[in-house]
Amino acid sequence: MRNTVPVEVSARHVHLSQEQIDILFGKGHQLTPLKMLSQPGQFLSEERVTIVGPKKTMERVGVLGPARKEGQVELSLTDCFSIGIKDAPVRESGVIDGTPGVILKTDLAEIQLDKGVIVAKRHIHMTTADAAEFGVQDKDVVSVEVKCGDRAITFGDVVVRVNDTYALAMHIDTDEANAGCISGDVTGVVIK
């Protein structure tokens, strides 16, 4: 049975709806792919936004494409404390009801999101075939052990997300990466 996954670190980023892209970058603007990500079709765009928090501003934050149904701002807890957002919950992507809002700004415009700031819940993307090999199912919660550098770490509360459009990868944020000295090509061991 397979039990190892590549571990990828997600830096703070923003997802936008087409309507938000229209406002922030101009009517009909399309995000320009700068770098394809591991998940098929997903990309880091050339576009950048400024996040205006209650306490501080964070400039040149990456926008991921393609456009989504709703805007979403994924920050680390360190980011949240730094810019003054106190109540951002740990959530799966797309589950943003009741989350705090924030202001996004470009040279062209500024919009107030009334929700959407989350700290991403750590997760593993995999296909149905991967899930069978790992002996897990969609929404299962597992642990993943990562040993690299001087900070061996085991992440609990890792959600498995199964979809045939995915590619096998665990996603963690920068706080989680730094707590484990994780950078570059790193592999984790799934513990059920």
List residues near a second copy by CB under 8 A. Answer: 76-78, 81, 89-90, 121-122, 143, 147, 149-157, 174-176, 178-181
Beta bridge partners of 33: 45
CA distance 90 to 184: 24
49 or 146: CB nearest a second copy: 146
CA distance 55 to 65: 28
Q: Residue 116 CB, nearest distance to a second copy (Å)?
A: 18
Q: Residue 67 CB, nearest distance to a second copy (Å)?
A: 28
Q: Residue 97 CB, nearest distance to a second copy (Å)?
A: 16
Q: Residue 131 CB, nearest distance to a second copy (Å)?
A: 22
User: Of 102, 13, 113, nearest to 55 (Cα)?
Assistant: 102
Beta bridge partners of 126: 162
155 or 166: CB nearest a second copy: 155
20 or 76: CB nearest a second copy: 76
3 or 78: CB nearest a second copy: 78
Pair type for strands 123-126 and 153-162: parallel
121 or 171: CB nearest a second copy: 121
Per the CB < 8 A criterion, the answer to whether 51 and 104 are in contact is: yes
Pair type for strands 57-68 and 13-17: parallel
Q: Supply 111's token pair.
A: 């919009």
